[in-house]
Amino acid sequence: MSQLRQEIGLSEHLSAAGYRLTAPRRAVLQVLEEARTHLHPEEVLKRARLIYPGLGRATVYRTLALLTGLGLLRPIRLGGSPRLARVTEGHHHLVCLACGHSFSFEECLEGELEEELAQRFNFKIKGHLLEFYGLCADCRGE
């Protein structure tokens, strides 16, 4: 995945793709860019309405679908709850099967695996999502 994707914001990507940056759409983009966690679409709506009170649910869902279609967001399921994640080089989580809590981590040794899979299947990989499932220390009673 290109470094450019990480260096420019969602607004710039939409503009470059020829989409208008309306005030409602900017509110959605601002929420996504400021989020420190993965958000459910309804949480995006709630936060974006604080920025643009007249924002409609359909606008939020259309904007999220557009960003997903452009490869800038990806849907993820953490603990059974659908969320949206910004697409970066890779995305990694540990997910507790008991409480549903997830832990993000940055370290990834996917380079060799990604190259091997790309060659073996003649596939151009654009990113990845890696999740490990188990039990956190609290749920194990430690």
Banded pLDDT at 6 (limits 50, 70, 90): very low
Identify the structural domains of the chain with CATH numbers, from first to last.
1-73 (1.10.10.10), 89-142 (3.30.1490.190)
CB–CB of 132/126 below 8 Å?
no
Instruction: Please name the residues in contact with 5: beta carbons below 8 A apart, sequence gap of 6 or more.
Output: 13, 72, 87, 88
Angle, helices 57-69/41-51, rounded to nearest 10 degrees? 120
Instruction: Please name the residues in contact with 101: beta carbons below 8 A apart, sequence gap of 6 or more.
Output: 79, 95, 136, 138
What is the amino acid identity at position 112? E
Which tens digit of pLDDT belongs to each residue from 55-81? 999 999 999 999 888 878 877 766 566
Q: What pLDDT, on a 0 to 100 scale, did the predictor assign at position 88? A: 55
Predicted TM-score (pTM) of the model is: 0.64
E-strand stretches of the chain: 73-78, 81-86, 91-96, 102-104, 129-134
Residues 117-133, mean pLDDT to the nearest whole number? 82
